[in-house]
Amino acid sequence: MIFVNFKTYQKGTGEEAVLLARICSEISQKCSVNIVPVVQSTDIFRLSSQGFLVWAQHVDNIDFGPHTGHFLPQAAMEAGAQGTLLNHSENKLQIEVVTQTIKQCQDLNLSVLVCSNNLSEAQQINQVSPDFIAYEPPELIGSKTLSVSTGRPDVVSGFVAAFPGVPVMVGAGIHGSEDVRLALKLGAKGILVSSDVLLSLDPEKALLDLALGFT
């Protein structure tokens, strides 16, 4: 799997998000790799209403009520999101909040990919059985010279060994098919990527290169 985090980049916003989602869909079919756009809340319905698979970048641990400025999990689901990212390094949460939010998403059949930058945190979160766990060392996010596969291979293999029943994703600094192949060799089931695609002059070429790492 490839989770493409659109973040708030220009190429991942509004109508440009539609174009990138179309690229994700086309390459997914071409390479038989499940590619998941992870988008801003304002773009979930924009994409899902056109038939694209889409996940939210975040939901809050709230229920219906007076929560101005928060993002209700039920609203994400109603907009068409099939899952959500949680605890990204750019939006870290307390472990108790993460676990409570996972439980709420499970009640809604909303899949969850939880990010973690260390094994101890991930083990605590895994007690409530998220659908996916992603290892992302924050110091390598956006790196152009070192990927998680080449820079932290021992930690990647440690995550895989610690969670035999959970698909482990890896992210940070992944720039091409060789990084993907090494991640898979270490036992990961897929990758979480952003800047390599969203900041590329040719996002289609960049994403295709990553997808070819699964072949």
Range of the domain at 88: 2-212
User: Rounded to an integer, what distance in angstroms lies between the CA atom of residue 166 and that of residue 96?
Assistant: 20
Full-model pTM:
0.94
Assign 20 to helix, strand or coil: helix
Average pLDDT of the segment spanning 28-36 = 96
- Quote the pLDDT of residue 71: 97
Residues annotated catalytic, as ranges: 88, 136
pLDDT band for 72, please (50, 70, 90 cuts): very high
- Quote the pLDDT of residue 144: 66
Nearest of 63, 26, 69, 21 to residue 44 by alpha carbon: 21
Strand blocks (E) in the chain: 2-5, 35-39, 55-56, 83-86, 111-116, 132-135, 168-171, 190-193
The string of pLDDT tens digits covering residues 130-162 is 999 998 777 766 666 667 777 778 888 888 999
Cα–Cα distances in Å, from 206 out to 26, 153, 188, 192, 202? 13, 23, 20, 14, 6
> Which residue reads 């809050």 in tokens?
60
Residue 43 pLDDT exceeds 90: yes
The string of pLDDT tens digits covering residues 96-113 is 999 999 999 999 999 999
pLDDT band for 190, please (50, 70, 90 cuts): very high
Q: Which of 94-108, 164-178, 180-194 is predicted with the least confidence, judged by mean pLDDT?
A: 164-178
pLDDT band for 176, please (50, 70, 90 cuts): confident
Domains identified in the chain, total number: 1
Query: In CATH, what number is assigned to the domain containing residue 183?
Result: 3.20.20.70
Average pLDDT of the segment spanning 184-201 = 93
* Mean pLDDT rounded to a whole number for the chain: 93
Average pLDDT of the segment spanning 64-71 = 97
Between 146 and 187, residue with greater pLDDT: 187
- Quote the pLDDT of residue 200: 94
- Quote the pLDDT of residue 81: 98
Residue type, 214: F
Contact 212, 181 (CB under 8 A): no
The Cβ of residue 61 has, within 10 Å, a number of other Cβ atoms equal to: 20
Average pLDDT of the segment spanning 170-183 = 86
